[in-house]
Amino acid sequence: MRSSPPTRAKNSNTAIRVNRLNTKVITAEYLSQAAQALRDGGTVVFPTETVYGLGADGLNDAAVGKIYEAKGRPGDNPLIIHIADKADVAQLVREIPPAAQLLMQRYWPGPLTLIFPKSERVGQVVTAGLDTVAVRMPSNRIARALIRESGVYVAAPSANLSGSPSPTTVEHVIDDLDGRVNFIIDGTGCEIGLESTVVDVSVTPPVLLRPGAVTLEELRELLPDIVAGRQEEENAPKCPGMKYTHYAPKAQVTVVYGPKGRRQEYIKECLKGEPNAGVLTYRGGCYEDAKLVIDAGESMQAYASGLFANLRNFDTHQIRVIYAEFEQAGGMGRAVQNRLYKAAGYRVINLYEK
């Protein structure tokens, strides 16, 4: 008989939690148990190259329902179905438009989700009643091995409680979902740190619904007519998940958007009246009056990969208000800006306009 995997000590400090399930935290060597759980209609958290995902059998309505329940996710926010092989997409969609062929060839496996007209096989729960389905083929080794071994199409949103920052470490997953899922795979490789780029290829021209590591500039090389929503419009319902408060730590976030000197001056002034403030610096401001200063890094890639962990870290230190430095940036900067603005509930001080 196989020995059962070790259960990790619970270190959850999340207020909203139920302990109905005996969550097993395993390493990838026990992956076949997690794959079996997926086949049996259970829930498994696994790492991807973007963030951790909370997976279940995407063609089993009852299993998909468990995802919504575990996350506390509104039922009108559809999920992404993850596949291990490109050819599998044909089972899930009515057609593969030419724009999709180009993108799949260039960016799958990888951090790109495509929205297709859905096939009959795909149910109403996973798509929240839409006539389209989101599909992604991740590149993370553990994710691919799990999907392949389970033999199911794995529906998976980010593995956080609805509204919280997405998890990029197993500790963050445990904080949010311990007792709410069957398995958590303790893996590595969430190196991108922000969720996948989402492109709707069910319409012509294709539309960028969520910016991510596959950038608008890169997409335009293949699809010159792609339409990108403006930052504010990305809150609009075509990508239903984008309308909810997202990525938010408990602390109140203010984005200070502007040239380096001005934003530092502005933040220093704000800190004078705030005993419990933190600063997320970008390219190195010095803030003596802040209770906690976290360096977002020297590049937008670094800002992206650390963003969600940094936001959670401010909460761990009981910071009440966070000032996050940000500046104009294309490429990956667009994705960082999108998540940061949502984390701030669009509380943005634009110093370029002043």
Site for Mg ion, rule CB under 5 A: 158
Position closest to Mg ion via CB: 158
CB of 51 to Mg ion, least distance (A): 8
Q: Does 241 bind ligand TXA (CB under 6 A)?
A: yes
What is the nearest approach in angstroms of ligand TXA to the Cβ of residue 243? Answer: 8
Q: Are 122 and 20 in contact (CB under 8 A)?
A: no
User: Could you tell me the smallest distance in angstroms from the CB atom of residue 242 to ligand TXA?
Assistant: 5
CA 241, 200, 226, 219 dihedral sign is: positive
Q: Which two tokens stand for residue 100?
A: 């999709």
Q: Is residue 43 near ligand TXA by the rule CB under 6 A?
A: no
Beta strands in the chain (DSSP E): 24-26, 44-46, 53-57, 80-82, 112-117, 132-136, 154-155, 183-185, 197-200, 207-210, 227-228, 252-257, 277-281, 292-295, 321-326, 348-350
Contact 139, 44 (CB under 8 A): no
167 binds ligand TXA (CB under 6 A): no
As measured in angstroms, the least distance from the Cβ of 167 to ligand TXA is 10
Q: Provide the 3-class DSSP secondary structure of residue 221.
A: helix
Residue of 53, 58, 187, 258 interacting with ligand TXA (CB under 6 A): 53
Q: Which of 239, 311, 322, 324 binds ligand TXA (CB under 6 A)?
A: 239
Which of 50, 60, 281, 310 is close enough to bind ligand TXA by CB under 6 A?
A: 50
Nearest residue to ligand TXA by CB is: 241
Per CB under 6 A, the segment of 89-97, 111-119, 224-232, 313-321 that binds ligand TXA is 111-119
Rounded CA gap, 86 and 289, in Å?
A: 52
